[in-house]
């Protein structure tokens, strides 16, 4: 029986609130050892499934050293550079010979074209998933319809006249303004109207320019300036009110604006998204609060699977005395996940919310200098009490080690698992990419790969996913023309297009289509190229297999042409066959060289 093109419609009770929670056969004991959670019937006796997945710091550092030696090896760099150049030229020759054939194959398919194939925005942040006009309309609407709603516990001290005067000099100020920040609200709850009166802004005054959330030429190589763009009108108070899940109003406005974005996605039908929501690791109840926010406000869509982003901000929390060591940070992040896997009734909302979560992301400015290096002398998490932030690979290793144990435990329980899909290689040291290669299912950005041919070749051989955002990179790190996305695509790396932050970088309602349209114009992408990028995005995404079989075909995991269904993907078999043959050819070359080396060593 043929698999339908569309997945079955979700039940009305999509959070499963009316379904009983699974009852585990056995409740295990849990303890932390060397920064990683262990599970067993009694301490020191880890269950076999989890024990097999545990990875030691020594093993990770040994593999890191081996890879480091490989990427600086001169002859190997030359070999990989030549193979990648060969792959790029091979693709260009393929296009010259087969472009017309590919187009004919696409034309022969009824109904299907680029607009109605599935495409997933594999890298987007929920806090900036709407465009600037959408956020402006939403804020204006709330200013007019909910001006008496209490939105803050008390008026923040930093809403001073200084900020008011810097917003816009021509603003009408019919209301009397307090002279200084000393005239506080005496700790009284503050309404929406009072917040905007204090800022000297009316709904009429507010414009996209005043909102000032769009990245411009001043954010290039200035990640600090870019971060301030998350504050509408330069005010962290407005960010607190409108784009936070945990605030005085319980994240009500953020839920409403996100649901508007989700409705737009559902209307488009063929566009899906994987927005990132933040968990900071400051306390253990963050997961429960986030799950309650999602379920209470019904922030759900069949077009979306959530990723959880973990900002690398240990140093900030340590300076504020929120945590004592790095192990406490890891404990806050992962213990609730192990507890809910062990006994779903301990966190019922979280158990239901995790059904819609596909992975974990690690985020922050990669260009920051790392004062600490991860080696055998680096203290374990429980002894890491330094004021300095741990390095990128320290964060990623311990996230990966805990995730391996968690996934093994969840498989043991018959639950779905999570992938690690960090921001990696946007800037900073190439070691980040090396760690990403060892630990991640796919990465976001990967710009620095263009400078490391050995790693780039390894990413190609393993088909590790790379979600690229050229418009975002254009404003922050590298101009659009120099972006390596098209070069990666030609070589056959597993790349997809994503938006990153529509609030800062895009103008239209359909940010992903905007991303595709600009890429198509700049690099003169063919319909086949665009459909290949779209197919890659679905493969990379965290949507379940039972959904992907409807979008890509029941045999989508098969290699080569057998795994392609042009009726669903609109990617010609000629292109898929070329990609598969090129990859197999590279692997054959390597195995042949390996066997010859072995034979030569035996003769010695």
List residues with catalytic annotation. Answer: 445
Closest C-alpha to 158, from 236, 231, 249: 236
Query: In 488-596, which ranges are E strands?
Result: 495-497
Contact 472/515 with Cβ under 8 angstroms? no
| Rounded Cα gap, residues 403 and 362, in angstroms | 13
Distance of CA 529 to the CA centre of its chain: 23
- What is residue 300's DSSP assignment? -
Q: Compute how many other C-beta atoms are within 10 angstroms of the C-beta atom of residue 479.
A: 11
- What is residue 541's DSSP assignment? S
- Residue with the two structure tokens 């709904």: 203
Instruction: Please state at what angle helix 431-439 crosses helix 392-412, rounded to 10 degrees.
Output: 10
Residues in the chain, total: 604
| Rounded Cα gap, residues 241 and 264, in angstroms | 23
Output phi, psi for 306, to 5 deg.
Answer: -90, 145
| Rounded Cα gap, residues 247 and 152, in angstroms | 8
The token duo for 419 is 């992938």
The token duo for 327 is 């192990």
Closest C-alpha to 330, from 374, 296, 381, 288: 381
| Rounded Cα gap, residues 12 and 207, in angstroms | 39
Q: Compute how many other C-beta atoms are within 10 angstroms of the C-beta atom of residue 113.
A: 12
- What is residue 543's DSSP assignment? -
φ/ψ region of 251 (left if φ > 0, alpha if ψ in -120 to 50, else beta) reads left
Give DSSP secondary structure letters for 55-92.
--HHHHHHHHHHHHHHHT-HHHHHHHHHHHHHHHHHHH
Q: Helix (H, G, I), strand (E, B), or coil: what is residue 554?
A: coil
Q: Compute how many other C-beta atoms are within 10 angstroms of the C-beta atom of residue 397.
A: 23
């Amino acid at each position: 029986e043929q698999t339908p093109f569309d997945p079955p419609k979700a039940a009305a009770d999509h959070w499963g609130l009316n379904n009983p929670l699974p009852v585990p056969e056995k409740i295990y004991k849990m303890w932390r050892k060397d920064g990683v959670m262990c599970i067993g019937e009694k301490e020191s006796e880890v269950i076999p499934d989890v024990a097999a997945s545990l990875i030691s710091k020594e093993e990770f550092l040994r593999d890191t050293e081996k890879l480091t030696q490989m990427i600086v090896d001169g002859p190997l760099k030359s070999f990989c550079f030549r193979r990648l150049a060969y792959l790029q030229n091979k693709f260009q020759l393929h296009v010259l010979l087969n472009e017309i054939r590919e187009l004919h194959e696409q034309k022969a398919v009824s109904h299907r074209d680029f607009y109605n194939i599935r495409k997933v925005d594999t890298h987007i942040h929920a806090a900036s998933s709407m465009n600037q006009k959408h956020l402006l309309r939403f804020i204006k609407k709330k200013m007019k319809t909910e001006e008496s709603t209490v939105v803050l516990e008390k008026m923040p001290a930093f809403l001073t006249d200084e900020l008011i005067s810097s917003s816009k000099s021509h603003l009408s100020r019919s209301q009397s303004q307090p002279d200084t920040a000393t005239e506080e609200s005496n700790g009284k709850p503050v309404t929406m109207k009072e917040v905007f009166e204090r800022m000297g802004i009316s709904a009429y005054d507010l414009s996209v320019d005043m909102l000032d959330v769009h990245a411009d030429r001043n954010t290039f190589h200035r990640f600090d300036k870019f971060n301030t763009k998350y504050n509408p009108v330069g005010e962290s108070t407005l960010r607190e009110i409108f784009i936070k899940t945990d605030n005085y109003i319980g994240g009500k406005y953020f839920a409403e604006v996100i649901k508007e974005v989700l409705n737009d996605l559902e209307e488009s039908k063929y566009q899906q998204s994987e927005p990132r929501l933040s968990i900071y690791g400051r306390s253990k109840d963050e997961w429960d609060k986030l799950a309650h926010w999602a379920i209470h406000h019904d922030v759900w869509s069949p077009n979306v699977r959530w990723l959880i982003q973990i900002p690398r901000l240990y140093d900030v929390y340590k300076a504020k005395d929120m945590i004592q060591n790095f192990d406490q940070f890891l404990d806050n992040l992962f213990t609730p996940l192990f507890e809910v896997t062990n006994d779903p009734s301990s966190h019922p909302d979280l158990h239901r919310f995790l059904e819609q979560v596909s992975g974990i992301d690690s985020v922050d400015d990669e260009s920051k200098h790392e004062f600490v290096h991860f080696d055998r002398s680096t203290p374990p998490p429980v002894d890491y009490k330094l004021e300095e932030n741990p390095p990128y690979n320290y964060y990623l290793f311990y996230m990966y080690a805990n995730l391996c144990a968690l996934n093994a435990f969840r498989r043991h329980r018959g639950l779905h698992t999570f992938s690690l899909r960090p921001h990696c290689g946007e800037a900073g040291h190439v070691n980040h990419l090396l760690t990403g290669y060892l630990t991640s299912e796919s990465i976001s950005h990967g710009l620095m790969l263009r400078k490391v041919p050995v790693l780039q070749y390894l990413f190609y051989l393993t088909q590790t996913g790379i979600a690229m955002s050229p418009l975002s990179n254009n404003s922050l790190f590298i101009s659009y023309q120099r972006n390596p996305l098209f070069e990666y695509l030609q070589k056959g790396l597993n790349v997809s297009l994503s938006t990153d932050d529509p609030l800062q970088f895009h103008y239209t309602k359909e940010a992903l289509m905007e991303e595709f349209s600009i890429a198509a114009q700049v690099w003169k992408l063919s319909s086949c190229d665009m459909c290949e990028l779209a197919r890659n995005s679905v493969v990379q995404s965290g949507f379940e297999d039972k959904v992907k079989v409807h979008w890509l075909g029941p045999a989508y995991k098969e290699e080569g042409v057998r795994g392609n269904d042009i009726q669903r993907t609109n990617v010609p078999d000629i292109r898929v066959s070329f990609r598969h043959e090129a990859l197999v050819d590279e692997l054959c070359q390597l195995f042949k060289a390996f066997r010859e080396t072995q034979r030569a060593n035996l003769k010695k």
